[in-house]
């Protein structure tokens, strides 16, 4: 099928395009050369198999970005790490970013949500994205990390400005602006990290600075990348998932909203269905890896092909694992375009799957 990433980025309804791709085949090579994985089973296999990695993506950022904060952030992002670095970093982060820490923050989140809602003029039209959804998750991730109130809005803005670097096809102007934004953002974060080194604190940032496991600690570049990534992922994806889900509930089908407020559905199930139907991260990338006879991984010198859903994929080829498309696979979810919080249990790929399952899912 002759559609590509630009079509998906500009489409009014990208789900219709990925549905056409999925109907043709669960794994399909796009005109650009990327391999699109739209089937649910194929997506799970690609996300959990050790034959597909992501460190080659971090290596590309090291090659293509100028020396500085943006290159350090992108090349050390936890989602662009493979073993042995990924399990080491993930283990350290898990000791700091605990379910207990999230549970302790929950009452504050509840109050913050109510306070944000109370600032809205309920008698007039308002912008759900700008007036509520953009503000709340930025404050939550800031509170979790221990970022001063005066810095929160600007750090959220800078995190958004860096996001174009994650696009497979950013313009030179977008790259330049993102690189500049990363420098400013990292300078601000660097100041906060330096404060924690002098005066330890009980927030997540303080815990990440101090965390240690079997004598291992986060390297400085890993720590800085983690904090920047948390700001981006903890703000943007939550904002988008909330707005898209609320837009669906407040659509012309008034029965959906009525059933939610009447508590006919469990709210956790409502949230999971919002994430399934309007998955905020449409795709993640993976690259075919090669294990040598000694068991070492060679990111670029691979010589073996991998078969996925009957398609042979050569070493070095890039897979786009389309989470949003897999979450609407009719072979797993009956009437997949309908909102139904009472579906039978099935893996929801909104937080990905396997070793790179989202660190902040509990939050």
- pLDDT given at position 2: 64
User: Cα 31 to the chain's mean position, in Å?
Assistant: 25
Q: How far apart are CA 278 and CA 74, in angstroms?
A: 26
Residue 300: is its pLDDT beyond 70? no
| Rounded-to-integer distance, Cα 25 and Cα 190, Å | 47
Say which residue, 293 or 336, is predicted with more confidence: 336
Please say whether the beta carbons of 327 and 274 come within 8 A.
no
Three-class DSSP labels, 221-243? HHHHHHHHHHHHHHHHHHHHHHH
pLDDT at position 187 over 90? yes
What is the residue-wise DSSP string for 268-334? HHHHHHHHHHT-SS--EEEEE--B-TTS-B-SS-----EEETTEEE-TTPEEEE-HHHHTT-TTTSS
Element (H, E) at 27: strand 27-29
User: Cα angle vertex 317, ends 315, 323, to 5°?
Assistant: 125
Q: Distance between CA atoms of 103 and 193, rounded to whole angstroms?
A: 24
* Mean pLDDT for the stretch of residues 223-228: 94
Cβ-proximal residues to 316 (8 Å cutoff; 6+ apart), any chain: 56, 287, 288, 300, 302
pLDDT of residue 214: 78
Give residue 290's pLDDT: 62
Half-sphere exposure of 5 (CA within 13 A, CB side): 19
Reported as half-sphere exposure (CB side, CA atoms, 13 A), residue 81 has a value of 21
CB 239 within 8 A of CB 129: yes
Residue 240 pLDDT exceeds 80? yes
pLDDT in tens, 109-128: 999 999 988 988 888 998 98
Q: What is the pLDDT of residue 303?
A: 54
270-281: pLDDT as tens digits? 999 999 999 999
Given a cut of 70, is residue 301 above it in pLDDT? Answer: no
Q: What is the pLDDT of residues 49-63, one digit of tens each?
A: 988 999 999 998 999
Residue 326 tokens, joined: 């897999």
pLDDT confidence band for 205 (50 / 70 / 90):
very high
- pLDDT of amino acid 362: 87
Q: Higher-confidence residue: 7 or 196?
A: 196
Residue 292 has pLDDT above 50, yes or no: no
pTM assigned to the model: 0.91
* Mean pLDDT of all residues in 149-178: 90
Kindly state the average pLDDT of the residues 230-256.
Answer: 87
């Amino acid at each position: 099928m002759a559609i590509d990433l630009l079509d998906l980025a500009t489409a009014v309804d990208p789900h219709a395009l990925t549905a056409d791709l999925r109907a043709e085949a669960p794994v399909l090579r796009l005109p650009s050369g990327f391999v699109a994985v739209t089937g649910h089973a194929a997506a799970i296999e690609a996300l959990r198999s050790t034959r597909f990695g992501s460190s080659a993506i971090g290596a590309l950022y090291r090659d293509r970005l100028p020396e500085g904060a943006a290159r350090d952030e992108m090349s050390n992002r936890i989602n662009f790490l493979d073993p042995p670095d990924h399990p080491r970093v993930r283990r350290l982060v898990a000791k700091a970013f605990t379910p207990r820490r999230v549970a302790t923050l929950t009452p504050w989140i509840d109050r913050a949500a109510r306070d944000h809602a109370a600032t809205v003029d309920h008698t007039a039209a308002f912008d759900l994205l700008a007036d509520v959804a953009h503000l709340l998750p930025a404050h939550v991730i800031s509170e979790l990390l221990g970022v001063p109130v005066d810095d929160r809005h600007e750090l959220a803005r800078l995190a958004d400005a860096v996001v174009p670097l994650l696009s497979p096809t950013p313009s030179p102007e977008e790259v330049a602006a993102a690189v500049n934004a990363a420098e400013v953002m990292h300078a601000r974060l660097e100041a906060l990290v330096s404060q924690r080194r002098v005066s330890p604190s009980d927030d997540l940032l303080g815990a990440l600075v101090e965390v240690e496991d079997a004598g291992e600690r986060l390297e400085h570049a890993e720590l800085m990348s983690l904090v920047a990534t948390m700001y981006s992922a903890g703000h943007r994806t939550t904002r988008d998932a909330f707005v898209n889900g609320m837009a669906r509930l407040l659509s012309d089908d008034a029965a959906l909203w009525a059933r939610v407020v009447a508590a006919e559905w469990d709210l956790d199930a409502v949230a999971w269905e919002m994430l399934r139907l309007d998955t905020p991260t449409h795709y993640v990338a993976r690259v075919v890896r090669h294990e040598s006879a000694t068991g070492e991984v060679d990111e670029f010198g691979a010589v073996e092909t991998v078969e996925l859903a009957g398609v042979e994929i050569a070493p070095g080829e890039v897979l786009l694992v389309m989470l949003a498309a897999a979450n609407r696979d009719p072979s797993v979810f009956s009437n997949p375009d309908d909102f139904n919080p009472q579906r039978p249990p099935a893996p929801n790929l909104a937080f990905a799957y396997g070793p790179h399952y989202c660190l902040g899912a509990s939050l």
